[in-house]
Amino acid sequence: MTVQELMQQYQSLGYQSTELYKVSEVFVRMKKDSAKIFLTFTSNMVTSGLRGFFAQVLKKGMADIVVTTVGSIEEDIMKAMGETFKIGDFEADDVDLHEKGKNRVGNILINNESYGKIEAVFLPILRELYKKKPRWAVSEMLREIGLVLDDEHSILATAAKYDIPVFCPAITDSAFGFHLYLFQRKHPDFMIDVVKDFGNILFSVSYDDKKGVIALGGSISKHHAILFTLLNGGAEYAAYITTAHKTSGSMSGANTNEAKSWGKVKDSADIATAIGDVTILFPLAMINAMEELQAEGLLREE
């Protein structure tokens, strides 16, 4: 059974299988309608190992704008440098892990040293950026980093290659932010301009563009995208996958219907929400969509 055959079965299986099939079909329709597609995801999805799949999605032209959290940026750089994360256990002895210099993210283990190694790549890039000019928007800085990463599975490298902007509004929420701070201490006029990126993402689409949102999880990455669909008249397409529920009143749990009350999604929008683990659901939904689009010659050839 192929992924497409499995997903065809899902449309009549019931519960979240049916909703996942709807999500996949929204992916297809937004692409066929030439919508500008926002892809948003949180850093735990890059930690999990979806990094290379996200890069493939970008290569195939299934996203025009990326919005993510800074852990995605850090870990994309780490893995481009050859760092590997290991599978651990959700019930591990966390005190023992701390003593061994291992950080646990769910059932994934990351060595402390991996964060320190970012500096070896990051500081030379910052020095070169500073020589060119002292003030950079976040997305501009991330593009420069992507241009020097030699890894076909890298999100930043792939985005830079295909001129896809990557936005990260909470850039300081990390070891990455700490290195920015240390560099600014030595160069007080150095500035990473988050506010300038507000304009950059705002004008990455227009009021007249058809807009689609693929939101994986929630957090600032999801809201940052749908804020700009709101300011540009609302999205025509929206597909969410999340483990959160609408009863919490959170951004992560807010479904596509709730977005209509704000005008982030148009009243007549083509929408779907599936509840479940992105590491399982997103590859199924996106591979199904890409196989359908590939057969019609609607994906970018690498």
Catalytic residue numbers, as ranges: 264
State the residue for tokens 């025009």.
Answer: 64
State the residue for tokens 């890069």.
Answer: 55
Q: Which amino acid is at 273?
A: T
How many CB atoms within 10 Å of residue 86? Answer: 10
Which strand (E) or helix (H) includes residue 160?
helix 155-161
How far, in Å, CA of 136 to CA of 152, rounded?
Answer: 25
State the residue for tokens 């930043």.
Answer: 156
User: For residue 63, what are the contacts with CB-CB under 8 A and spacing of at least 6?
Assistant: 37, 38, 39, 57, 164, 214
Which strand (E) or helix (H) includes residue 87?
strand 86-87
How many CB atoms within 10 Å of residue 56? Answer: 18
DSSP state of 297: T
Which strand (E) or helix (H) includes residue 267?
strand 265-275
Q: Answer whether 291's CB lies under 8 Å from 6's CB.
A: no
